[in-house]
Amino acid sequence: MHVIILAAGMGTRLNKNKPKCLTVLSNGETILQRQINALLGYVDKEDITIVVGYKKNMIKKEYSDYSFVFNSNYENTNTAKSLLCALDKKQLDSDLIWLNGDVVFDSEILKPIFKSKKSSMLVNTNSVGQEEVKYNINKDGTINEVSKRIQDGLGEAVGINKISRIHLEQFKYQLGKCDNNDYFEYAIELLINQNIKIYPMDISDSFCCEIDTQYDLNFVNEYLEK
């Protein structure tokens, strides 16, 4: 199993003048440290790669014993191309789990996706706004669509996903077809269009929140303080 953390973005909406993943939470952890602490319950640090871009040296200095891939075009690309950067550098022969570097979650939500042998996506069934990545499903319960543009979403795709080894090359190919401004979810949709099944895993009973704004950060900090 290999894990990729996508942390190349500029985080302009939070506007902290540093990579968003280095935002310090109310419990003293950075977002990235909290993620890594959770992941180390399932993989070794050698199995974790961090994709960096904006102010990359700040992240590399703080986590110098981890593996990094630099998205040199981070200012003009989105998560699809950041993920492709990592997969082009890492010749993987294993299942892949990847996550956005701005997601704060309780470690227990990782258990089902690490145990599963299927290509999967963590989701919740909470009400979602226009900016969240939403999903809906097919009659067989697999993912049908996943994007911000969905109007009848069942909930949110929380940004933690898995592609099994047997689908990895096909997924890389679909990432290559994405435009610079596409999110990786578009590549998942393209994969689904090739009749690859992606299974939702509902983690609604556990805490998971993507931090985009100061409001999100305040919400997360209130939860941690409880």
What are the residue ranges spanned by the domains of the chain?
2-225
Letter for the amino acid at 27? N
Any idea of the CA torsion for 48, 10, 220, 50, to the nearest 10 degrees? 0
CATH architecture group of domain 2-225: Alpha-Beta Complex (3.90)
Reading the block at residue 172, the tokens are 């890389």
According to the model, what pLDDT value does residue 205 have?
94
According to the model, what pLDDT value does residue 198 have?
97
Name the average pLDDT for the chain: 94
**Mean pLDDT within 14-24:** 88
Confidence tier at 58 by pLDDT (50, 70, 90): very high
Q: Residue 18 has what DSSP assignment?
A: S
Query: φ, ψ for residue 208 (rounded to 5)?
Result: -160, 125
According to the model, what pLDDT value does residue 16 have?
73
Reading the block at residue 7, the tokens are 């942390």
pLDDT at 112 over 90: yes
pLDDT at 72 over 80: yes
- 159-215 pLDDT, tens digit per residue, is 999 999 999 999 999 999 999 999 999 999 999 999 999 999 999 999 999 999 999
The Cα 199–Cα 79 span in angstroms is 21
**Mean pLDDT within 23-32:** 96
Any idea of the CA torsion for 5, 134, 105, 78, to the nearest 10 degrees? 20
pLDDT at 15 over 80: no
pLDDT at 156 over 90: yes
Confidence tier at 130 by pLDDT (50, 70, 90): confident
pLDDT at 83 over 90: yes
Q: What proportion of the chain, given as a percentage, has pLDDT over 90? A: 88
Nearest Cα to Cα of residue 14 among 209, 224, 215:
215
pLDDT at 122 over 80: yes
Q: Are 101 and 21 in contact (CB under 8 A)?
A: yes
